[in-house]
Amino acid sequence: MSQSVDHFALLPLYAAAGTAILAFLADLFLARRGAVIATTVLGGLATAVLALVVGAEPGTFCTTGACSWVPTWPAATTAVLFAALTVGVLALSTPALREGIAPAGEFCFLLACSMTGGVVVAYAGDLITLIVGLETLTLPLYVLVGLRRFAPGERVTTEGTSASLTFFLISVVSTAVTLLGAALNYAATGALHLALLTPATGVFRPLAGVGVALLVIGLAFKVAAVPLHAWAPATYDGAPIPIAAYLSTASKLGGVLALAAVVARLDAQVVMAILAVVTMTLGNLVALRQTRMVRLLAWSSIAQAGYILAALALGAPGVPAALAYAVLFMALEFVAFAVVVALRPPGADGGLLTDYRGAGRRSPWLGAALVLSLAGLAGLPPGLAGLFAKLSVVDALVQQNWSWLAAVVVLNAVIALAYYVRVAASLYTAPPRIDPVVAYPVPLDAAPHPRLPVSRPVAVALAASVLVAVLLGFAPQLLFDALT
């Protein structure tokens, strides 16, 4: 049996995969760092443009009543987001790549491969394609987390390798759980295509229930939900900061898309509600005790995942609010990581929270951008994007008579204010009066951490992400329309 393939509908996938191949070939034959980076940037932009050109089309790789590749406007929107995140992370990585801290060819190739997986997730029409896309999105990140060159005489550290190994081992477990859940559900229902997924009835209902629970728990790893959350803080902190940004945004977006595709069609309300409450509560409580910037952002992202899961606990009615929250959170989180990259030397880790004391005084624009991000993540003005995100989740829960879960969301949002306000306030706190080395008073304007120049790619990526966050805050309905 043969079937025709709509190559036009596959153009975003061809562009993403072609970007990875061209980056590899550019490194092989040209061996010029600038050419490899430019190739990857152009490929990412081409992927976004072709996703918009294709738009909504009839699916391909179809069987009776369903297709494995489904081009829709929400799929095109999320494909554009994956491409934009890839280009943005590459811009944040450019200073480190220029200094040779990571090999540009391997870095760009792996990043483009991960973008390809994100595009597959966006257009996936069956569970197999969805899981393959998620693994393609995730597999390159195992290497990117630990990809680093050490200069002669530089102290060799194992943080990146340890973070990569932690990420890999927990991911293997989650993938096995996901596949087992998909297999059990297929045995009970005989359906793999998302359009054909329905809750099982009769004697197979208990088997399908176990399968759905395992499937949801396995996919929850991608959003760093409890109990498969322990990898996130260690991995984020051990990875290069731009890769931590990609994990916190693109990887999380892929997990949200996968979960949304499943819970919109199968009954997983109880499991999702439990995961939501535990995830948001644990994430916020542990974030209160963090002293390192990237670890705080990691635990914050775990808590934010709990709010997304709360909307997904409603099933299909909560999917629009969950997707909108994920995108708005992604924009704000990227701004936060971009500011951290701008305030730290190339190749350095995120540092301690005390390293950011007075950063808002030394670099007013960077301080304002970070405050905007933190306010949005907390759900406060001027971060209107985050405010509308939380309101959309709470409104969806109240409309569906899940007021108790809405109350848990609000309570956790109040708890989160403590660490967001603490970090924001420290940006404008005066430097210490006493020099810790020579122990004599120093002027109040003496900066223990000098102001660093911000490279042009980082500045462009930060400005673009701030602009997107502000625009989405003032016009959130545009996002809702694009995702529904």
* The pLDDT of residue 443: 47
Contact predicate 199/191, CB 8 Å: no
List, in order, residues 6 or more apart from 74 with CB less than 8 Å away: 323, 482, 483, 484
CA atoms of 295 and 483, how far apart (whole Å): 30
CA atoms of 410 and 390, how far apart (whole Å): 9
Contact predicate 397/336, CB 8 Å: no
* The pLDDT of residue 466: 94
pLDDT digits (tens, 9 = 90+) for 320-371: 999 999 999 999 999 999 999 999 888 788 889 988 898 888 889 999 999 9
How far apart, in Å, do the first and last CA atoms of the chain sit? 35
List, in order, residues 6 or more apart from 425 with CB less than 8 Å away: none
Angle between helix axes 159-189 and 205-220 (nearest 10 degrees) is 160
Per-residue burial over 307-346, b if 16 or more Cβ lie within 10 Å, else e, is bbbbbbbbbeebbbbbbbbbbbbbbbbbbbbbbbbbbbeb
In this prediction, the residues of the chain whose per-residue pLDDT falls under 50 are 1, 152, 439-447
* The pLDDT of residue 376: 92
pTM: 0.92
